[in-house]
A = this chain, B = another copy of it.
């Protein structure tokens, strides 16, 4: 192949590549941002950045927002700061503020000069709210109109504003000082006559959140009222942001899994902690309190055992079944607690039902106790019949152990069902009635029951 032919071939290849890229970009433009982001992550960062910057500007920001934090930082460090400023301008404001907060101080200072004044001020304002507040998760991608506009004028304003506003399903009506007066849904505007005033379609009895309110409270309000977005006001009643239903879904997920951790005796800290980013020592601090606490409470169980050492030495077979009694009690108690916590969380029961709940749990526990009584009886006969040194018949001992186990199961279920209700009564999270606490508590009650019954039936 001579040089000229080689060149032609290479030109052909380049052409093919360019053609394919053209097709690729066209296809990416029609796809949901999150899928494009999933695809970009599979390319090399250079390729990925190259492709991203070839997409229409208004898509770049949305796609970048869907990348995970770590990958965002890789692309950011690779990018020409000026190119990046464009991506940044088109990012949804909430995601943008989050990204900005992930940069270290130096990088933040270096980025700011490239931004337009409006973007810069927006980023700084949204980054200024403490974590866990409504302010920290809100975005400013909302549309406002004035009450004395006509529907036609309002729709005209939306058309002008909307390319940069993600959320225009609700249009917020404000006064000249940005104080919120009410809202109209886009549906209301479409349904109304073009020459009517916006004020005529206005809902002035509206649900809102406040900037420094807990994010969970705001998410629950979105859920309760089935809102697509909730307006967030500052202390002067001015509209400063919105929190949308997808934020609410994230928060509910975090809150529910937090409940599960709490139920396992893991202390939640104020920050939303990402597993991998939290240091081992921080993880340790979140767990050590309960583990040590329970360990120390365990001394109580040891005391109970010590007190009855004479009984254990006389009838050593009793010691062998002690772990079985406490373990089964712990399991039934924790199960009862988690069922009650779930029913409370789903709104299936309220505190008013407390008696019904305890009655129902008792019935369930009685059924479990019956099944376990027979199993325990058989187990003792099976495992300990060789043990002929005892002063009592093996049947009598098996019966005693079975009775103690049955009572333990019922007591544990009642304790497990009651603790979350008590926590709720004192306005706490029912999940603080943690499983390890229940286990430790029923360990102690279980031993007391066990020895009391053994003394009563075997002395």
Interface residues of A (CB under 8 A from B): 30-32, 34, 155, 158-159, 162-163, 168-169, 186-187, 190-191, 203-205, 207, 223-226, 228, 245-246, 248-249, 252-254, 256-261, 263-266, 274-276, 280-281, 283-284, 287-288, 290-292, 294-296, 298-299, 301-303, 305-306, 309, 312-313, 316, 319-324, 326-328, 330-332, 334-335, 337-343, 345-346, 348-349, 353, 356-357, 360, 363-364, 367-368, 371-372, 375-376, 379, 383, 435-436, 439-440, 443
Q: What's the Cα separation between A303 and B324 when bound, in Å?
A: 12
Q: Which residues of B contact A258 (CB under 8 A)?
A: 342
Specify which of B158, B190, B228 is in contact with A155 (CB 8 Å cutoff). Answer: B190
Task: Report Cα–Cα, A303/B245, bound state, in Å.
Answer: 55
- When distances are taken between beta carbons in the complex, the residues of chain B under 8 Å from A309 are 320
Q: Is the CB of B439 within 8 A of A367?
A: no
Least CB distance from A207 to B in Å reads: 6
Q: Is the CB of B288 within 8 A of A367?
A: yes
Return the chain B residue nearest A228 by Cβ: B228
Instruction: Give bound CA distance, A253 to B251, whole Å.
Output: 11
Q: In the complex, which of the residues B30, B32, B326 contacts A204, with contact meaning CB atoms closer than 8 Å?
A: B30
Supposing A223-B246, A367-B281 touch, asked if A339 and B275 sit within 8 A by C-beta, the answer is yes
A349-B276 in contact given A302-B320, A335-B264 (Cβ < 8 Å) = yes
Nearest CB in chain B to that of A169: its residue: B169
Residue of B nearest to A273 (CB): B348
Q: What DSSP secondary structure best describes chain A's contact surface?
A: helix
Chain B residues contacting A368 (CB-CB under 8 Å) are 284, 287-288, 291
Q: What distance in Å separates the Cβ of A102 from its nearest Cβ neighbour in chain B?
A: 15
Q: Which of B280, B299, B334 contacts A436 (CB 8 A)?
A: B334
B328 and A190 within 8 A (CB) = no
Contact of A320 among B32, B288, B306, B341 (CB under 8 A): B306
Separation of A256 and B251 alpha carbons in the complex (Å): 12
Name the CB-closest residue of B to A222. B249
Interface centre among A158, A296, A356, A360 (most CB of B within 10 A): A360
For A346, give its contact among B31, B253, B259, B326 (CB under 8 Å). Answer: B253
Contact among B159, B254, B276, B435 for A334, CB-based, below 8 A: B435
Q: A203-B30, A274-B348, A292-B371 are in contact. Are A338 and B298 (CB under 8 A)?
A: no
A330 near B439: Cβ-Cβ < 8 Å = yes
Tell me the complex Cα distance, A360–B277, Å: 11
Residues from chain B with a CB closer than 8 A to the CB of A265 are: 331, 335
Given A249-B223, A338-B266, residue A302 in contact with residue B186 (CB < 8 A): no
Contact in complex: B342, A257 (CB < 8 Å): yes
Q: B367–A290 contact, CB under 8 A? A: no
- When the two chains form their complex, are residues A299 and B379 in contact, meaning their CB atoms are under 8 A apart? yes
In the complex, the chain B residue whose C-beta lies closest to that of A203 is: B30
Please name the residue on chain B nearest to A333 by beta carbon: B264
Closest to A229 in B: B228
Q: In the complex the two chains form, what is the Cα distance from A163 to B205 in whole Å?
A: 20
Contact yes or no, B266 A339, CB < 8 A: yes
CA distance A440 to B312 in the complex (A): 24
A-B contact pairs, 16 of them (CB 8 A): A32-B207, A34-B224, A159-B191, A169-B228, A228-B228, A254-B346, A265-B331, A276-B356, A284-B367, A288-B371, A291-B335, A291-B368, A292-B371, A295-B372, A309-B320, A327-B443
- Kindly identify which residue among B163, B259, B292, B330 contacts A375, using a CB–CB cutoff of 8 Å: B292
Most buried by B among A249, A256, A337, A342: A342
Task: Report A304 CB to chain B, min CB distance, Å.
Answer: 10
A198 smallest CB distance to B (angstroms): 15
With contact pairs A274-B348, A331-B291 given, residues A435 and B280 touching in the complex (Cβ less than 8 Å): no
Residues of B contacting A169 in the complex (Cβ-Cβ under 8 angstroms): 169, 186-187, 228
